[in-house]
Amino acid sequence: MGLAPSVLCIHWCGCIEGLAIMKRIVAAVAAFSIVLGAAGPSAASSPRARELAHRYVSAMDMKKNFAPMLDNLMAGMLQQQMASAKGDDEAKALVGKAVREAFNESVEAGMLDRMMAAMEPAIAESFSEDELQAMVDFYESPTGRSIIAKMPSFGVKSSAAVVAIMPEMQADLERRLLAKLAALKSQKEK
């Protein structure tokens, strides 16, 4: 038996800012995507480069390989957010379940495929045709296919490692940022 929307809203509001958590997770996923598909200086790409970029994305089987990595990263981030959130465990569990279901539904609805397709122009513009051909040749080869087949397992393990170090990274960043802000304040007061 589910909770009525008004009760769920009370749970959400009393527990955490559910949308704020979702926005942080989406921002992290977007940043992760940018790192994976970062483009260099924009340049017009040839039809051949665009076709090779498409073959590269297809060969990488991004949906199969990228989704588990993102899901694991999102789960770790969600767990960290929930640990510091206010509210009762039932409300936290409801929000966590809703966030994971929304993510999975988004992947199933094709958003990850659309994201990968949107990255193709950046790939085509960032690499030469020779580089793209070499990437396609490799990832379509037996060795490349073997590596691709291992990516889901690697992705889960590597994102777990990132999640594990995240609290230390956040604390380090906060310490450094506070020191810089204090220095700026000190300069302003002079």
How confident is the prediction for the chain on average, in pLDDT?
A: 76
> Over 60: is that where the pLDDT of 67 sits?
yes
Q: pLDDT digits over 89-136, tens only?
A: 887 788 888 888 888 888 888 888 888 888 899 999 999 999 999 999
pLDDT at 109: 87
Its pTM surpasses 0.85:
no
* 30, amino acid identity: A
**Would you state the torsion angle of the CA atoms of residues 119, 125, 128, 133, taken in this order, to the nearest 10 degrees?**
30
How many Cβ atoms sit within 10 Å of the Cβ of residue 113?
13
| Residues 159 and 69 sit within 8 Å (Cβ to Cβ) | yes
Of 45-49, 82-86, 121-125, 162-166, which gets the smallest average pLDDT? 82-86
